[in-house]
Structure 1
Amino acid sequence: MDGGRAGERVRAAIRVEGTVQGVGFRPFVYGLATRLGLDGLVGNDERGVFIEVEGASALVGEFTAALRDGAPPLAAVERVAAVPVPVTGRSGFAVVPSPPGGRRRALVAPDAATCADCLREMDDPADRRYGYPFVNCTNCGPRFTIVTDLPYDRPNTTMAGFAMCGDCEREYRDPADRRFHAQPVCCPACGPRLRLLGPDGREPAPPPAGLPGPPGRDCSPPPPSTTAPGGAVPGRSFPGRATSDGAVLDAAAALLRAGAVVAVKGLGGYHLAAVAACGPAVAALRARKRREDKPFAVMAADPEAARRLCEVDEAAERLLTGAARPIVLLRRRPGARLAPRVAPGDRWLGVMLPYTPLHHLLLRRVGEPIVLTSGNLGDEPIARDDGEAVARLGGVADAFLAHDRPIRARADDSVVRVLRGGPLPIRRSRGYAPRPLPLPRPAPRPVLACGAELKHTFCLARGGQAFVSPHVGDLENHETFRSFTEGVAHLRRLLGITPRLVAHDLHPEYLSTKYALALEGVDRTGVQHHHAHVASCLADNGVAGPVIGVAFDGLGYGADGTLWGGEFLVAGLAGFERAGHLAAVPMPGGAAAVRQPWRMAAAHLDAAYAGDVPGDLAVVRRNTGRWEAVVALARRGVNAPLTSSAGRLFDAVAALAGVRDVITYEGQAAAGLERLADEDEMDGYGCRLAGGVPFTVPGAELVRAAAEDLRAGAAPGTVAARFHNGLAAAVAAGCERLREARGLGTVALSGGVFQNVLLLERTVALLEERGFAVLTHRRVPPGDGGISLGQAAVAAARDRLG
């Protein structure tokens, strides 16, 4: 604060906005003020944190500067505003209650992994929280998933039903304590407790003996440690609590070691767990969950255990051990002790570390890594409520490791890859959402962006801030759609946002579009799918454009009513020009061509060879009995919509190279082609652009080159790599043409195809060699999980222009 002599006594009213509730900000302010000998007060309200501070002018200035520079690790300070007010002369510094009412502008913090201080207490036999599965403090623990309303005070969380004991109350009231105003504070005497239930949701759970899939040659976990921290404490117990929680964990671990599938209640919902090295247990989990091939994520106890499974470099370890604790996709080590069905045929593995005390304690008892996959079936949302979990997962889990702290908001695990030493988000959810993201252009009116269909998120925007929801799932069933609508209502209430402008995809059959069109009392704006992808990348990087936007994905509804997916756009936030695209080919059978990549191979090969496809290609021989009928379908254009999709081009080459003819989950063939590629191969197939601007990229040339290579005996891994390199070169060539025509030197790469790190890295390298500035995703996924942010950014920019 400026003004006044250094020793002159002044008083300032300070407003701090951002993510400053539930992150230890008031205790930090109290400690800072008392350390500097300042008087005043601090409190939470609907906008954030309010402070009045009084003392020597220089010390008040030092205090104000430290609010941003020295904030707690989980805080995100966005604005500090100070104004002088009359000096009162009152001594002392106090934390005051939150006032009711007012327009809400406070932000909700994401959930955070258990901090080192809490783990030390949990492992200390002399500590009253020894072995307690719900230890937390102002620096860690549940946040977004337990908040029911704002301001962030205990009555507005799902901890409201747990009355603090005397010891916890003293910590909560003591400004010098790490748990000062930590809303989820609890201990074995007063907090949540564990229960182990049978598959019908009733106690007790079945004994380990006689479970299907007992340990055998391929499932021989080591015995649990008898000295693992967190068990019963000899000579020291807390009646009915600590010892019983330890016994529940012992029993759950015994079930897992015996080959059981256990549903575990986490922060944002239930997971399904099995010992990762136990073949029968993993196979049983796959069969019951009806998840034939999609890889499972694995939880390892610590970084050292993760290194025994995968290659973990410094960047990966930073992500694994950060407060968000996402699943990190890592290269699997040869010979890693895992059941074959954990990630069938995949040289990458999704690994995460424990992020709650319960997970730490369970992993120690089991003694080795466990599969930990979302507690759902198919594309349903993750199960949240106990009754819901039993109803939906009772046929999957042999037991339920439950607890009595309710979950208010679903939040599935986040997933990231490592790109050039930083994160490339694949799924943004627990640990990240709903932390706000800045908009390149502020929204004049509040915005709701309804997202796409697959990998769905929604976004609320106000002023310069965008709040992207946690991952919802695929909006293809009633349960997921209901989770979406409930999530919108909850986040609207928490943030105090009433949308006046609603953004939606152009596809008329998306449930998110139908939801937007059914809303009353709002203005609406349709945003083309690939424009939203590029705008998402712009917003992710704080850029308004215009840029050359390359949006490669599976499918999106084009402005001309056809199916786009391999697009070169000249785009800013408010509008775009389609300046190039992959040459369109038919999708024989429509949606069937997505599920059966060999159909796309048939369409692309028919185009590449002008109807005279060599019969010696393996993909032709494998599908001889149905090949001609599918080709005829493509040629007639009956139930064979045209698409420029890069994802479908990947499918075609994947089938050609023998990766997959039929898939069991979205993107499987394309992901398999990336895994197959020989990363040492640097040659690429040529592909000449057709036309000026707009131009087309003839994917048929890449397909024919791949086919001829295979006919000549090239290894499939070589072919896969040369295809990647050739497509990257075609992107660079298209961008060079647009730079010459439009004078733009920045490229934004977006769309689900650019979750392929091999393609992304080689494309970025070629573009940078040619002098382009390249924007990639860092905070939201390049796939459809980032679409809602792009829609919000477009809506805000258009509203500004209007």
Structure 2
Amino acid sequence: MRRVEVRVEGVVQGVGFRPFVYGLATGLGLAGVVGNDADGVFAEVEGPRGLVAEFLAALRRDAPPLARIERVRVVEGEPRGDRGFAIVRSDGSGARRALVSPDTATCGDCLRELADPGNRRFGYAFINCTNCGPRFTIVRGVPYDRALTTMAGFAMCEACASEYHDPADRRFHAQPTCCPDCGPRPRLASGRGEDLPGDPIAGCAALLMDGRVVAVKGLGGYHLAVLASDETAAADLRRRKHREDKPFAVMVAGLDQARSLCEVGDLAATLLTGAGRPIVLLPRAGDGPVAAPVAPGNRHLGLMLPYTPLHHLLLAATGAPIVLTSGNVSDEPIAYEDADAFARLAGIADAFLTHDRPIHIRTDDSVVRPFGGGGSVLRRSRGHVPAPVTLAWAVPRPVLACGAELKNTFCLAKDTRAFVSHHIGDLENYETLRSFTHGIEHFSRLFGIVPEVVAHDLHPEYLSTKHAVELDGVDLVGVQHHHAHIASCLADNGEPGPVIGVAFDGLGYGTDGTIWGGEFLLAGLASFERAGHLVPVPMPGGTAAIRQPWRMAAAYLDAAYDGRPPEGLDVARRNEERWKDVLSLARGGVGSPLTSSAGRLFDAVSALIGPRDTITYEGQAAIELEQRADPAERGAYAASVTAGGIRGADLVRAAADDLLAGVAPEVIAARFHNGVAAVIVRRCAELRDACGLSTAALSGGVFQNLLLLGRTVDGLRTAGFRVLTHRRVPPNDGGISLGQAVVAGARDVTSRRPSRATRRAT
């Protein structure tokens, strides 16, 4: 006989792990107990030695589909002659290491019950089991038990309780278990909050088909919905939401509907149907039934499949794709509390499809693009969070990293776990800042992390930086923006460096006080050296040049032609009233800070080949430039390298010369992309010759551009480089917090921990 004490750590709560252990042990005739605690799952198992060994082998091999085992510890004990096996009460004492599962799309078993008229949960909008349903968005604390979720207010009926306590049932110890008799209920209300008669979901579908805008409560907050084919409704939504051009996401019932709208390859299908159900950006396939205002001027659509039973029922009732975009006014965080949603969305939505299960923490949809053998994550949120990024090394002390200003996430790191938050948004208003601080408090409480080190961006005016410096009793670590990008890529790949880092993005505060953005770094985790960059050019009017890319075209053309830009360019003609004034600003340096930004270079070329003179959302000009490029074109513009850096102006001049010669804009866009990729490869090769490093890491928002990323990766590999790209966190500023956290941890290892005042000064 043998007795063992077993401890399992990872995502093992809320995924049916205790029922799995119970079934495994009883099936083998073993005695003992299993339960949840602050670390994860614990078990004591006793029986014949061979059967205990078989139990331990199956523990990892046959774990539930949503489980993610990090570690199994086994301690030998003395047999006691126990009889029977039981699930025991959870123990919430001690330091917390238990993980929480992300929210998971409705499983196949639940969908079959949902569609079965003979099942008692037929048509029930909140059906779930141990293999699917809400997790992160309803959890208030650990261990993961019903009492610590927003399901606590729904007492299980006798039938549900019987399933919950039956070891043979799929809902054995499934915390959100419920049914129409005891669980949450949908409700359809007018824009004024008055109940509307009839079946809520059928009523919502009727409103959508009648051209109305409906606010729909999902897992992590409210969405705004219209019928995707309705031109008037989509335009109304765009006008009411104050969202001029940024594309809306579209929810489709299944892959057949997805293929009627977009090109869906095997990888895209895998991403669409995965348990996380992200928005997947895909090329359009012909003229599908999607109204022009859904994604104006955009050759891609963001598609997602239903991930809650309510969504499945709604898509079945409408029989057509629907727009499902975040429930907010532009630049505000998504609404998730009912009273707030009715107050903020009343001027947008004609009606509300809501329900009475509270959402504890707001969570936007994740966004990915197919790339290589997997997905390039552009926004990491629902379906991914709060699963940690497991580090290949430990941070010495708990770290809070406050992230960047745009696409903000924060990160709490302890030991080898880095908890990168859900997408917070742009920290530019009070509501988003409140979401940021509330999220930090929730993660800290949920995972038992009290930070001793706080990392932040060097920019003194970022709200995330200001939050960091106002905290007491912590060591502060300032991390340069582009170093954080490369460190994030290193952590994403489990690599400590050093590497040749290529950090191309919009803007980042440099160590010299100027605006960086087209950087080559020799970087490890603790430190970096700036080893090259794009030659800085003026940003005429400062931030106005971000909103009006034609200003960057003017500045680059002025640099490219030594102060004598050619006549006959449409960009100058379209903006002739202000063209000379902007050139004077650029030449005089008044209100025109210098920047090495790669993002501004892409803006300039986009405006040059036109007609994108102004933008209404971040990255719009560069996105349109990528979509315009002819992927079959292999020509490339050349850029010279001087003592001052890489001359992006050479690329602009080549593009302008081609444009004046009548070359098609699609060819110019492709040659520009190919030229940027070529100059990256060339500069990396020069640095390899100088320093001996042969691994390149690519990061920054510009590498969301898959045409550029693909050409750059191919070129570097052909040149003999090992190439690191992002896999688990975004290359954009959504990954900055992870980079800040690992830099702070690495410096904590190598430093002698100077005082707070000294650390702040550095």
Instruction: Decide: shared fold, TM above 0.5.
Output: yes
The match for 2:310 among 333, 350, 358 is 358
The match for 1:191 among 172, 183, 192 is 183
The match for 2:91 among 99, 109, 126 is 99
Tell me the residue number matched to 1:610: 562
CA distance in 2, matches of 1:774, 1:11: 48
Q: Which amino acid aligns with 2:407?
A: K
Residue 73 of structure 1 deviates from its aligned partner by: 1.1
Is 1:720 the counterpart of 2:669? The answer is yes
Residue 492 of structure 1 deviates from its aligned partner by: 0.5
Is 1:345 the counterpart of 2:294? The answer is no
Tell me the residue number matched to 1:668: 620
Tell me the residue number matched to 2:739: 790
The match for 1:325 among 267, 274, 277 is 277
Tell me the residue number matched to 2:697: 748
Q: Which amino acid aligns with 1:18?
A: G
Aligned ranges for residues 42-61 of structure 1 at < 5 Å?
42-61=34-53
The match for 2:600 among 648, 655, 678 is 648
Tell me the residue number matched to 1:63: 55
Tell me the residue number matched to 1:781: 730
Task: Check conservation: 1:687, 1:697, Cα contact below 8 A.
Answer: yes
1:601-652 Cα deviation digits (max 9, x unpaired): 0000000000110111111111111111111111111110000000000000
Is 1:760 the counterpart of 2:709? The answer is yes
Residue 552 of structure 1 deviates from its aligned partner by: 0.3
Q: Which amino acid aligns with 2:108?
A: A
Residue 100 of structure 1 deviates from its aligned partner by: 3.6
Seen in structure 2, the aligned counterparts of structure 1 residues 345 and 100 have a Cα distance that, compared at 3 Å, is closer
Residue 441 of structure 1 deviates from its aligned partner by: 2.5
Aligned ranges for residues 263-662 of structure 1 at < 5 Å?
263-662=215-614
CA distance in 2, matches of 1:775, 1:418: 17
Q: Which amino acid aligns with 2:664?
A: A
CA distance in 1, matches of 2:194, 2:457: 44
CA distance in 2, matches of 1:718, 1:99: 64
CA distance in 2, matches of 1:648, 1:543: 30
Task: Check conservation: 1:659, 1:672, Cα contact below 8 A.
Answer: no
Helix, strand or coil at the partner of 1:29: helix
Residue 688 of structure 1 deviates from its aligned partner by: 2.1
Helix, strand or coil at the partner of 1:650: helix
More displaced, 792-801 or 463-472? 792-801
Q: Which amino acid aligns with 1:186?
A: C
The match for 2:12 among 20, 34, 38 is 20
CA distance in 1, matches of 2:611, 2:150: 47
CA distance in 1, matches of 2:386, 2:484: 20
Task: Check conservation: 1:440, 1:793, Cα contact below 8 A.
Answer: no
Residue 37 of structure 1 deviates from its aligned partner by: 1.5
Residue 61 of structure 1 deviates from its aligned partner by: 1.7
Residue 21 of structure 1 deviates from its aligned partner by: 0.4
Tell me the residue number matched to 1:150: 142
CA distance in 2, matches of 1:667, 1:501: 33
Q: Which amino acid aligns with 2:129?
A: C
Q: Which amino acid aligns with 2:296?
A: P
Task: Check conservation: 2:105, 2:308, Cα contact below 8 A.
Answer: yes
Residue 494 of structure 1 deviates from its aligned partner by: 0.5
Helix, strand or coil at the partner of 1:705: helix
Task: Check conservation: 1:659, 1:673, Cα contact below 8 A.
Answer: no
CA distance in 2, matches of 1:59, 1:423: 41
Q: Which amino acid aligns with 1:15?
A: R
CA distance in 1, matches of 2:385, 2:618: 24
**Taking structure 2 as the reference length, what is the TM-score of the superposition?**
0.98
Helix, strand or coil at the partner of 2:294: coil
Task: Check conservation: 1:534, 1:748, Cα contact below 8 A.
Answer: yes
CA distance in 1, matches of 2:642, 2:259: 48
Is 1:123 the counterpart of 2:115? The answer is yes
Task: Check conservation: 1:448, 1:460, Cα contact below 8 A.
Answer: yes
Task: Check conservation: 2:536, 2:595, Cα contact below 8 A.
Answer: yes
Tell me the residue number matched to 1:230: none
Provide the identity percentage: 66
- Number of equivalent positions: 751
Q: Which amino acid aligns with 1:531?
A: H
CA distance in 1, matches of 2:285, 2:92: 55
Task: Check conservation: 2:6, 2:75, Cα contact below 8 A.
Answer: yes
Residue 659 of structure 1 deviates from its aligned partner by: 3.9
Q: Which amino acid aligns with 2:374?
A: G
1:87-120 Cα deviation digits (max 9, x unpaired): 1111111100102421111011100000000000
The match for 2:28 among 26, 36, 54 is 36
Task: Check conservation: 2:571, 2:611, Cα contact below 8 A.
Answer: no
Q: Which amino acid aligns with 2:680?
A: V
CA distance in 2, matches of 1:414, 1:629: 42
CA distance in 2, matches of 1:721, 1:666: 21
1:143-179 Cα deviation digits (max 9, x unpaired): 0000011110000000000000001001111111110
CA distance in 2, matches of 1:661, 1:570: 36
Q: Gaps spanning 5+ residues in structure 1: where?
A: 1-8, 206-243
Residue 739 of structure 1 deviates from its aligned partner by: 0.4
Q: Which amino acid aligns with 1:337?
A: P
Helix, strand or coil at the partner of 2:710: helix
Tell me the residue number matched to 1:241: none
Task: Check conservation: 1:441, 1:796, Cα contact below 8 A.
Answer: no
**Taking structure 1 as the reference length, what is the TM-score of the superposition?**
0.93
Task: Check conservation: 1:441, 1:793, Cα contact below 8 A.
Answer: no
CA distance in 2, matches of 1:510, 1:378: 20
Q: Which amino acid aligns with 1:381?
A: P
Task: Check conservation: 2:238, 2:244, Cα contact below 8 A.
Answer: yes
Task: Check conservation: 2:103, 2:132, Cα contact below 8 A.
Answer: yes
CA distance in 2, matches of 1:185, 1:427: 30
Helix, strand or coil at the partner of 2:467: helix
Task: Check conservation: 2:281, 2:303, Cα contact below 8 A.
Answer: yes
Tell me the residue number matched to 2:758: none
Task: Check conservation: 2:92, 2:142, Cα contact below 8 A.
Answer: no
Task: Check conservation: 2:498, 2:523, Cα contact below 8 A.
Answer: yes
More displaced, 437-446 or 293-302? 437-446
Q: Which amino acid aligns with 1:112?
A: T
Q: Which amino acid aligns with 1:281?
A: A
Helix, strand or coil at the partner of 1:341: helix
Residue 440 of structure 1 deviates from its aligned partner by: 3.1
CA distance in 2, matches of 1:661, 1:441: 46
Task: Check conservation: 2:5, 2:76, Cα contact below 8 A.
Answer: yes
Q: Which amino acid aligns with 2:493?
A: N
Helix, strand or coil at the partner of 2:292: coil
Residue 65 of structure 1 deviates from its aligned partner by: 2.2
Q: Which amino acid aligns with 1:437?
A: V
Tell me the residue number matched to 1:739: 688
Helix, strand or coil at the partner of 1:149: coil
Residue 56 of structure 1 deviates from its aligned partner by: 1.4
CA distance in 1, matches of 2:332, 2:572: 36
Task: Check conservation: 1:659, 1:669, Cα contact below 8 A.
Answer: no
The match for 1:173 among 155, 162, 165 is 165
Q: Which amino acid aligns with 1:486?
A: H
1:220-253 Cα deviation digits (max 9, x unpaired): xxxxxxxxxxxxxxxxxxxxxxxx6xx1111000
CA distance in 2, matches of 1:423, 1:106: 27
CA distance in 2, matches of 1:688, 1:783: 27
CA distance in 2, matches of 1:58, 1:591: 70
Tell me the residue number matched to 2:74: 82
